Amino acid sequence: MKMVLSHFNYWCKAKDEAQLANAKIEMFDPTSKSPQLDWVPAMQRRRLSHYAKMALFVAANSAEKSGAESMPVVFASQHGDFHRTSSILKDLAHQEVISPTSFGLSVHNAVIGLYSILTNNQQPMNSIAAGENTLLMALIEASIQLNNPNIYEVLVVYCDQPLPDDYARFDDVNSCDLACAFVVSKDNEQGITLSLTPSDTPNNTPLQAKQFVEFLATNKTNDALVLGSQSAWHLHIDEVTPC
């Protein structure tokens, strides 16, 4: 499979100073809690979690850079807004009343639904969760959608964050707050031309999403990366044309 990735942007925050020191990519505002969303109405913005703000921030940036009013969207997250879900579970355990708003915003496709409403984007959208292969499956889904002769570009959004403290022992990939977005197209005069081919060597390195962001942020022709811990794919940069 071949595709062109353009209008890539990301927001990342280190979990600790050691992770920040070892990062190959810039950690935006490591002391801030959330990215700014001035384009979202204040009343709606107050209801958003940090996770939702990260996702909306990168999605809006890529869409704005592309100049397209609306396009299909593939949203991907391994855990979703699990901090909100964890809070709801605690309320249930203490037999407290559950907030309908909080519950509605906890489902996996809630963020992409908000994006659709806030931007009046009525194009097809779907939400993917596939464990460690989540980002890889989002790329493959976008590529499949581009086989539709009526679809010329797809916005891909990925977002995840470390699990809450009560579930931290299940987070074996040393997660950090990370969101990225980019536009995938069949053919584009500007962007990163990328080839995807099946690989015989699975990538068992933790936090593959961070590897992918580093791969794109420091892109050079002939760079390569393997994504996927089960169905592994080899990503190769064929050409880089600055956007």
Model pLDDT for residues 207-232, shown as the tens digit of each residue: 788 889 888 888 889 999 999 888 88
- Residue 174: the pLDDT is 67
Cα dist from 195 to 61, 199, 213, 224, 228, whole Å: 25, 12, 16, 9, 15
Give mean pLDDT, residues 70-90: 90
SS3 content of the chain, % helix, strand, coil (to 5): 35, 25, 40
- pLDDT at residue 76 above 60? yes
- Residue 114: the pLDDT is 94
What percent of the chain is predicted at pLDDT more than 70? 90
- What average pLDDT does the structure give for the chain? 85
Domains of the chain: 5-189 (3.40.47.10)
Pick 24 or 241 by higher pLDDT. 241
- pLDDT at residue 167 above 60? yes
DSSP for residue 190 = S
Give mean pLDDT, residues 71-76: 96
HEC-encoded secondary structure of 65-102: HHCCCCCCEEEECCCCCHHHHHHHHHHHHCCCCCCHHH
Neighbours of 126 (CB within 10 A): 14
Q: Note the pLDDT tens digit of each residue in 42-69.
A: 988 888 999 999 999 999 999 998 888 7
Pick 223 or 170 by higher pLDDT. 223
Distance CA(2)–CA(129), nearest Å, equals 23
- Residue 89: the pLDDT is 85
Pick 5 or 188 by higher pLDDT. 5
- Residue 85: the pLDDT is 85
With contact defined as beta carbons under 8 Å apart, do 111 and 81 qualify?
yes
Q: Note the pLDDT tens digit of each residue in 136-151.
A: 999 999 999 999 999 9
- Residue 14: the pLDDT is 59
Distance CA(10)–CA(28), nearest Å, equals 9
Pick 169 or 130 by higher pLDDT. 130
Distance CA(11)–CA(176), nearest Å, equals 11
- pLDDT at residue 25 above 90? no
**What is the model's pTM?**
0.89
- Residue 1: the pLDDT is 86
Quick one: pLDDT band at residue 20, thresholds 50, 70, 90? Answer: very low
* Tokens standing for residue 6: 């353009």
What percent of the chain is predicted at pLDDT more than 90? 44
Distance CA(180)–CA(59), nearest Å, equals 8
With contact defined as beta carbons under 8 Å apart, do 132 and 78 qualify?
yes
